[in-house]
Amino acid sequence: MTDRPTGGSAASRTGYLWAAAAFAVCMAGTTLPTPLYGLYQQQIGFSELTVTVVFALYAFGVIGVLLLFGSVSDSVGRRPVLLCGLALAAASAVAFLAEQGLPLLFVGRLLSGLSAGLFTGTATAYILELAPPGRQARAGLVATAANMGGLGCGPLLSGFLAEYAPGPLVLPFVVHLVLLAASFAVTWFLPETVPGAHPLRSARPQWPALPPEVRGVFVPAGIAAFAGFSLLGVFTAVSPAFLAKSLGVQNHAVVGLIVFAAFFASTLGQLLVPRLGSARAIPLGCLVLIAGLALLAASLAWTTLPPLVLSALVGGMGQGMGLRGAVGEVAAAAPDEHRARALSALFVVAYFGISIPVIGVGLLSEPLGLAHAGLVFTACMAVLAAVSGGYLLRRAHAHA
């Protein structure tokens, strides 16, 4: 293994882009099943609550890895962790291909969460480390785009394949396996960036920790991240059923496109943060997120499509602003030696936002119906976003 590249060759100048491509491919697999849940329901027969539980297993997989192995690549190296993540993603695709009922769906989602948990922090660090001198800012943008763009491209790919190609429950995962194989080959030949890394070294689990310097900003930042991720969670887990059953939208490509819009808008929202500054991005992001939640409530209450599309765009942008602002504030407040663990704690809170509210919507959908359960969700998340944004605004005025 080699030390960090210095940008002297074409491979070292473009290595961070290849790493970003592998990042996007892995993350695409985590949202690939989104437009397909309706087909699985027809084939197997299960309730909306089961859909939300299947989806939430992904988040629990991510949380487990972040809690126990969020910083493992600092000792064993970036490449071994990413190669392991790609292997887990491939195992997830195989589980979906072999699906004969709920157990393998559960296994597939859990493996997908484990792969994303290994990739999220490690790939971001790897892309920044592979970037040639002077391209750190661009590398940060590339990492963000790979993460959220990959998440958005998953439902877009599977939606179009399921609608316009044969084998709707087979072809998307076969295509993903081919992309994973190519990503594995690319990652294998990329240089290691952790000096003295040893893949066989035992890595002790380290729980996320909050140094005293971070505690003042962590709670509002965590609330904003939780609320934003919960909106994305509802879009990826519940919106396909709402589109099909309440709005009569049976086209899988349209479902995938609407989910893609939310992640694409999140990427755009994150691009605004450097101009706004992290401190202002969180309250502004919360305000935009509340507007997106209001549009979602309008779509649910009036059973109409246009507000849902606008909710994906507006809410996604608010989520992106709030998330990148939260990451920036926590990273700036944390001492260097505790930054990775503090950020891992933030992402644990954020991924709980994907799981707990989504399961809550599933539970409420049985007695209340999907639309009314969604209205309860939007009200709760709007309150959380308002509390976070209001607290940070008062904090900013107090320090002015």
- The number of folded domains in the chain is 2
pLDDT of residue 68: 81
Contact by Cβ (8 Å): 258, 308: yes
Task: Average the pLDDT over 102-125 and give the result.
Answer: 90
For residue 255, pLDDT beyond 90: yes
pLDDT of residue 364: 87
228 & 362 share domain: yes
CB atoms within 10 A of CB 178: 12
216 & 189 share domain: no
pLDDT of residue 336: 63
What does the angle CA 70 – CA 74 – CA 77 come to, to the nearest 5 degrees?
110
Last residue of a domain, one of 163, 195, 227: 195
Report percent pLDDT > 70 for the chain. 90
Contact by Cβ (8 Å): 86, 185: no
For residue 106, pLDDT beyond 50: yes
Cα separation of 26 and 23, whole Å?
Answer: 5
For residue 85, pLDDT beyond 90: yes
Instruction: Name the pTM for this structure.
Output: 0.87
140 & 224 share domain: no
- Asked whether residue 200 is domain-assigned, the answer is no
- The CATH code of the domain that includes 178 is 1.20.1250.20
When pLDDT is cut at 50, 70 and 90, the band that residue 214 belongs to is: confident
248 & 144 share domain: no
For residue 8, pLDDT beyond 50: no
Cα separation of 259 and 159, whole Å?
Answer: 10
When pLDDT is cut at 50, 70 and 90, the band that residue 204 belongs to is: low
Last residue of a domain, one of 148, 168, 195: 195
Which one-letter amino acid corresponds to residue 297? A
213 & 338 share domain: yes
pLDDT of residue 7: 42
131 & 223 share domain: no
For residue 9, pLDDT beyond 60: no
- Asked whether residue 191 is domain-assigned, the answer is yes
Cα separation of 377 and 294, whole Å?
Answer: 11
Q: Each residue of 306-355: pLDDT tens digit?
A: 999 999 999 999 999 988 888 888 878 887 666 667 777 888 888 888 88
Q: Each residue of 160-187: pLDDT tens digit?
A: 999 999 999 999 999 999 999 999 999 9
Alpha helices, H only, 98-170: 102-130, 136-164
Is 183 in a helix, a strand, or coil?
A: helix
133 & 96 share domain: yes
Higher pLDDT, 278 or 21: 21
When pLDDT is cut at 50, 70 and 90, the band that residue 6 belongs to is: very low
For residue 2, pLDDT beyond 50: no
For residue 1, pLDDT beyond 60: no
Contact by Cβ (8 Å): 91, 372: no
**Residue 216: which domain range?**
208-400
When the pLDDT of each residue in the chain is averaged and rounded to a whole number, the result is: 86
Of 108-117, 255-264, 327-336, minimum mean pLDDT range: 327-336
When pLDDT is cut at 50, 70 and 90, the band that residue 90 belongs to is: very high
31 & 110 share domain: yes
